[in-house]
Amino acid sequence: MPSNLRVKVWRGGAGGDFSTYEVPRQASQTVLDVVTYIQRRLEPTLSYRFSCRVGMCGSCAMTVNGVARWTCRTHVSKVVDGDSLEIAPLANLPVIKDLATDMGEFFDKWARAKGRFRGARARHDDFARIDPASPERIAANAGIECIGCGACYASCDVVAWRPDYLGPAALNRAWTLVNDLRDIDQAERLRAVAGDAGCHACHTQGSCTERCPKAIAPTAGISGLKRLAARRAMRGEL
């Protein structure tokens, strides 16, 4: 194992450039450890984002050697190219500074896709009983662990081509809610995701599914939305 890593890190905004740092190599070192070392020891003005460090909050995603990844759970040994690492902000999002991107539009699209739960029951009502083995609950469970890291969104060519596309994360969220039998906004949600920039814009390239660190398959959920929207449209319900 080489004793040092040569790490190129994006500095500045969209018109910035890479700066190179030497970072000591350590056993079990993560990419987030490398970025933190640079910020604490070499370049205190380096901006980046993280919180939990254990793969739960979704805030630490960056582009590592050209691929969007969660950095707190990406070991250097799995991604290093010789002794080189290149760390850049996520693609398809505006760069605020260095490795920090503006996630505003990403989460606005969740709102546009009606990605929030609305039930009919009040606090004194009995709770709904959902069969955990029902096809709807199984479909919802398959997508529910999304942490909102944006790796899928940054990997999606359709988002790059047409910035109004809702994107894999928002559509995956909509798919989990479409399959939540307690939710009462189903018609409104389906109309929101069946529009021109919604599920039908997906080209089924599968980069989102390949890159999701939580092993979610947004491509499958988006296909489910397409089928459901087509069925409702043929019945005149959209």
Which residue intervals of the chain are DSSP H helices? 31-37, 76-79, 104-112, 135-143, 151-155, 157-161, 168-178, 186-193, 207-211, 218-234
Q: How far is the CB of 71 from ligand FES (least distance, A)?
A: 6
DSSP 8-state class, residue 71 = S
- Give the tokens for residue 238: 């959209």
- Position 111, amino acid: A
Site stretch for ligand FES (CB under 6 A), options 14-22, 57-65, 104-112, 197-205: 57-65
- Footprint of ligand FES on 70-89 (CB under 6 A): 70, 72
58 counts as binding ligand FES under rule CB under 6 A? yes
DSSP 8-state class, residue 57 = S
Q: Most distant CA pair in the chain: distance in Å?
A: 66
55 counts as binding ligand FES under rule CB under 6 A? yes
100 counts as binding ligand FES under rule CB under 6 A? no
Q: Tell which residue, 20, 49, 18, 44, has the closest CA to residue 32.
A: 49
Helix (H, G, I), strand (E, B) or coil at 207: helix
Site stretch for ligand FES (CB under 6 A), options 4-12, 56-64, 170-178, 204-212: 56-64
Q: How far is the CB of 61 from ligand FES (least distance, A)?
A: 7
206 counts as binding ligand FES under rule CB under 6 A? no
Q: 6 has which bridge partners?
A: 22, 84
Q: How far is the CB of 40 from ligand FES (least distance, A)?
A: 16
56 counts as binding ligand FES under rule CB under 6 A? yes
51 counts as binding ligand FES under rule CB under 6 A? yes
Interface positions with ligand FES (CB under 6 A)? 50-53, 55-60, 70, 72
